[in-house]
Structure 1
Amino acid sequence: MMKNICVAHRGFSGKAPENTLAAVRMALALPYVRWMEIDVQLTRDGVPVVIHDFTLDRTTNGHGKVKNMDFEPMRRLDAGGWKSRAFRGEKVPSLEEVLDLASGRLKLNIELKTSGDMYPGLEKAVIDLISAKGMRDEVVLTSFDAGVLQRVKELDARFRTGLIYDSRSGDPARKVKELGCSFLSISFTRINAGLAKLLAERGVKTMAWTVDKAKEMRRLAEMHSDIMICTNRPDIWGDTFLEV
């Protein structure tokens, strides 16, 4: 059996609406899902919420920017009906709700979704919540933004950080080292065996996203056993890697 860890992308988002408690619970129901990737932003009144887009339009029946809405009005939105009628009434979850479900059951790759100074205080709000729950060792905080990762380390150097990298050029291994990260989140199309080996030797975990086809999962597994496979379809990971 292959050892490549299965990471549920925004929960089991192939079947449930992404970044909802339904998607989280469906991922938790699969015993081989050991990690989950989620996205976190701040409401106008400073509550960390789990949602990917900077706007509400695609994944809820609301409109406008996440940062312009308070938590309680956001909770009244339907974040599941867009996926199917079966998920009508799903809410935009708070990070706290997801932490409570995941605690002691799987680890979390929490992407801090921000750009520039869009969310002042995002890093502190997330760190404080995770620390209050005693879950610092169960998470890695990731971002495309080097400044975000540096602020996390300044606030609490004990937190693991990870760089999200999607450039077609450059040296991700060097960038990770410069930022003091122990995790690299990278498009599966950008990774190769040499990079995976180098990062593993340096103690850096590599997660490849977003891999939904068995053929690509096998290709990554053949490159290196340490490559974590982030997928919308953890069931396909199970069908591909688990011994019958």
Structure 2
Amino acid sequence: MGLKIGAVAAGFTRDLEFDLSRVEALIRHGRREEVQLLVLPDAVLGGYLNDLSNPTYDDLPPALTLDDPLISKVIAMAGEMVVCFGFCEADGPDRFNTALCVTGDGVLGHHRKVHQPPGERAIYAAGNEFAGFDTPVGRIGMMIDYDKTFPEAARALAVDGADVIACLCAWPTSITNRAARMNEDRQSRLFDLYDRSRAAENQVVLVSSNLTGSIGGLRFLGQSKVVGPGGDIVARTWSKAGIAIAEVDVRAEIETARRVLHHLGERRPEVY
């Protein structure tokens, strides 16, 4: 039997009630389509930063603790579905760009973004771990946008047994050299390249979600997708809002990809 996966492309704002209602609508849509794993973007509760070139603490989205009632509401909405979503996490004085994976029974996985572009580095604390975790739909790992630029991040998750890697993004078009057409933008090409490469080099299923629309001076790419373990895109949203849905027999696809060339087993860490 295949796993029904949904990769969301959607826009979110500083209005937490609006965001929560959009999350509810997306989960409801996913449930109608019998989605079992729904991956929402980064920053769905409170939106992303307005300005990456000169961010300030006033620019941060509303910070939520893990026991915040809004987090509890998303958990309740998830029900039997496995749902990944991102938000700004408060932990004492620190703020983290965080992803949670939940079902109605509670939190399954918790990831704090490790790799930070210069703008985020000034105001967010960094996470320090990549770890897989077990869920009702299999073993999953999570990354948050810039994490996927670093091959070691996805590799660490694959080595830890993750068959599916969820990459939650707030990935904008190029800030320094924006193209007139989004599909010609340098960041658009890199976004797809990283998604396909991380899946193929680890021979895993990668689910990439991303914001759409604009916040402040940032315009987001969308391009949410499900990528198979051979690096093939099996479903995508392009630049528009929506849910890319694919049914994937995860174990069968991975076993097929690794039958002759088994990248994880053929590594030689002692020479790297």
TM-score by length of 2: 0.43
Which structure shows the bigger proportion of residues in strand conformation? 2
TM-score computed with the length of structure 1 as normaliser: 0.47
User: Whose helix proportion is higher, 1 or 2?
Assistant: 1
